[in-house]
Structure 1
Amino acid sequence: MSARQEFTRVGPGLPPLCGDRAGALILGSFPSPKSRAQGFYYGHPRNRFWPLMASLTGEPAPAREDLDAKREIILRHDLAVWDVIRACTIRGASDASIRDVEPNDLAALVRRLGVTAVFCNGTTSGRLYEKYALPRTGLPAVVLPSTSPANAAWTMDRLRQAWGAALGPFVNNP
Structure 2
Amino acid sequence: MEPIEVVHTFPPIFDKNSRLLILGTVPSVKSREKDFYYGHPRNRFWPLLAFLCGEEPPETKEEKTKLLLRHGIALYDVVERCTITGSSDSSIRNVVPVDLRPILSQTGNIPIFVNGATAARLYKKFLYAQTGIAAVSLPSTSPANAAWTMERLREAWGAALLPFFEG
TM-score, reference length from structure 1: 0.92
Instruction: Find the aligned partners of 1:87 and 1:68 in 2 and give their Cα distance.
Output: 25
CA distance in 2, matches of 1:159, 1:117: 19
Number of residue-to-residue matches in the alignment = 167
Q: What is the aligned-residue identity percentage?
A: 53
Residues 48-88 of structure 1: CA deviation (Å, up to 9, x unaligned): 0000010001111123xx22111111010111000000010
| RMSD of aligned Cα (Å) | 1.1
Letter in 2 for 1:15: P
1:78 matches 2:85: no
Q: Which moved more, 1:17-26 or 1:153-162?
A: 17-26
Partner Cα separation in structure 2 for residue 99 and residue 107 of structure 1: 23
Task: Pick one of 19, 39, 45 that aligns with 1:43.
Answer: 39
Task: Give the SS at the match of 2:166.
Answer: coil
Runs of 4+ in 1 over 2 A off after TM superposition: none
The 3-state SS of whatever aligns with 1:151 is: coil
- Judge conservation of contact 2:51–2:57 (CA < 8 Å) in 1: yes
* 2:140 matched residue in structure 1: 146
Number of the residue aligned with 1:103: 97
Task: Within 5 Å, give how 1:83-94 maps onto structure 2.
Answer: 83-94=77-88
* Aligned mates of 2:17, 2:107 — CA distance in 1: 4
CA positional deviation for 1:115: 4.0
Where structure 2 has 5 or more consecutive residues not aligned to the other structure, the ranges are none
Q: Assess if the C-alpha contact under 8 Å between 2:28 and 2:38 holds in 1.
A: yes
The alpha-carbon deviation at position 114 of structure 1 amounts to 2.0
What is aligned with 2:18?
Answer: 22
Q: TM-score, normalised by structure 2?
A: 0.96
Q: Once the 2 structures are TM-superposed, how far is the Cα of residue 172 of structure 1 from its aligned partner?
A: 2.1
Does 2:3 match 1:11? no
